Amino acid sequence: MPQPQSLHPSVPESPPSTDLPRPSRRLAAIPPSGTIAVGRQVRALRAQGIDVVNLNGGAPDPAAPWLSHAVTFSPDMNAIGDPAGEPALRQAIADKLRRDQSLAYDPNQIAITIGAKQGLYAALLALIEPGDEVAVLDPAWVTYIPSVRLAGGVPKTFALDHANGFRLDGEALRRALTPQTRAVVVNTPHNPTGRVFTVDELDAVADLARRHGLWVIADESFDKFVFDGHRHVSLAGLPGMAARTVVLQSFSKAYAMIGARVGYVAAPPAVAAAVARFNEQVLSCVSPFLQALALDALDAEPAWTATLQARYREKRDVTVAAVRALKGFACAVPEGTFYVFADITSFGQPSSDFARRVLDEARVALTPGSAFGAGGEGYVRFNLAPPLAVIRDGLDRLRNVFG
């Protein structure tokens, strides 16, 4: 009797491969953070017993007073919370945005994130398709361009106007736009230059966004760090912009909670819901315990904000005066943030080489301007988060090397 034909004929086995599977190129193509890379150098030197003053970053001073009497971890925090964030915190954020910037957000338009970094990435996933272009100002925070690429987008930079004190140039943005442009990323007060962009500058961005049908991601993490009569203006508050703007915020800066990693997005309802859905699948929720700390922080205003601004204004003024006295250095007075962006072009070195020289000769860690893009070349950034005594120590060391 004939045997039935097998439905699965045998296939000769190939010899086992000796090649290991290769990791994805997606993350391999993403450069390390320029600021974190300097921090890694500082830790390595300190591990060798070398005394380094870290003006690349550090624990914020003044420290958040509510962290010394932090909320008690309770059983109801030992659970998965709302992926969008705890309702009480989202309501408090909506109240803050209304009080500070006259922005009318409902709690369902707010999603709590693990700092502004995760908020940025989730917002990009909510706004762009693979291959869409995203216009990013240059220089800019080191995370914008890698996040655009991770989200499948194509970053297109537009330069701030160096000749006019890093003015936000609407014409430069217009030239960067193409039919493939889907969104623009703007940061004010601006890291690293310390600019606080004016209504006129932001109006130029808003006009282009309305005419070209673009989303705007507005990183406003330094909104409390504004000095000398300057005023922070939210892009979301300009005419016709609330429906096309995603506001990014962080508790790391104004509330000195850098280790808590709590931030949020305020956005049109569909975008906020998409960010919450990202949270639901990727991280479930931001820790309810840390959200309780963030709620305490919002309860501390406005007395805390006044203390914060006075302390950072003092640190800024001390640093600017000392940097201007150094041979070969120049800098403008920052209008906001807690950074001083110093011009070191007279030394004729790439900023990365010069920052390494400062670390080697003065044992002071600064961030090379090139970490923030081509527009930052020729500069180094001083971070004024550390205590004033630490900043003075670093400035004294620079004076010993550079006169």
Q: Which of 254, 275, 299 is the last residue of a domain?
A: 299
Question: Is residue 66 scored above 90 in pLDDT?
Answer: no
> Which residue among 252, 270, 299 closes a domain?
299
* Domain, as residue range, for 316: 25-63+303-402
This prediction has a pTM of 0.92
Task: Say if residue 105 is in the same domain as residue 214.
Answer: yes
Do 159 and 293 lie in a common domain?
A: yes
Whether 68 is in a domain gets the answer no
Closest CA to 93 of 272, 396, 288, 297: 297
Q: Hey, what are 57's tokens?
A: 């970053």
- Clarify whether residues 249 and 364 are in a common domain: no
Name the β-bridge partners of 331. 342
Residue 135 domain flag: yes
In a domain, 7, yes or no: no
pLDDT tens digits, residue range 184-209? Answer: 999 999 999 999 999 999 999 999 99
State the residue for tokens 């693990």: 114
Question: Helices (DSSP H) in 233-349: which residue ranges?
Answer: 269-282, 288-299, 303-324
Q: Is the dihedral of CA 120, 121, 125, 126 positive or negative?
A: negative
pLDDT surpasses 70 at 4: no
59 and 149 in a single domain? The answer is no
Are 77 and 292 within 8 A, CB to CB?
yes
In a domain, 263, yes or no: yes
Concatenated DSSP letters of 173-194: HHHH--TTEEEEEEESSPTTT-
- Clarify whether residues 202 and 185 are in a common domain: yes
Q: Report the distance separating Cα 388 and Cα 140, nearest Å.
A: 26
Determine the Cα–Cα distance for residues 333 and 326; give it in Å rounded to an integer.
15
* Residues 214-242 pLDDT 10s: 999 999 999 999 999 999 999 999 999 99
- Same domain for 56 and 128, yes or no, is no
Return the SS3 of 292: helix
Sorting pLDDT into bands at 50, 70 and 90, what band is 135? very high
Same domain? For 358 and 238 the reply is no
Q: Are residues 151 and 277 in the same domain?
A: yes
Number of structural domains (the chain) is 2
Residue 401 CB partners (closer than 8 Å, separation 6+): 358, 361, 362
| In-domain check, residue 321 | yes
Per-position b or e across 330-369, b if 16+ CB within 10 A of its CB: ebbebbbbbbbbbbbeebeeebbebbbebbeebbbbbbbb
Quote the CA–CA distance of 113 and 247 in Å, as a whole number.
Answer: 12
Residue 10 placed within a domain: no
| In-domain check, residue 43 | yes
* Helices and strands per DSSP (H, E), number in the chain: 12, 13
Domain C-terminal end among 274, 299, 324: 299
Give me the half-sphere count of Cα atoms (radius 13 Å) on the Cβ side of residue 262.
Answer: 28
- Assign residue 337 the CATH number of its domain: 3.90.1150.10
Q: In DSSP terms, which residues pair with 330 in a beta bridge? A: 343
Q: For residue 223, give the CATH number of its domain.
A: 3.40.640.10
Q: Do residues 100 and 147 share a domain? A: yes
Same domain (yes/no): 240, 363: no
Confidence of residue 30 (pLDDT cuts 50, 70, 90): confident
Average pLDDT over every residue of 315-329: 98
* Same-domain pairing of 93 and 51: no
**Residues 225 and 261 placed together within one structural domain of the fold:** yes
Task: Specify if 4 maps to a domain.
Answer: no
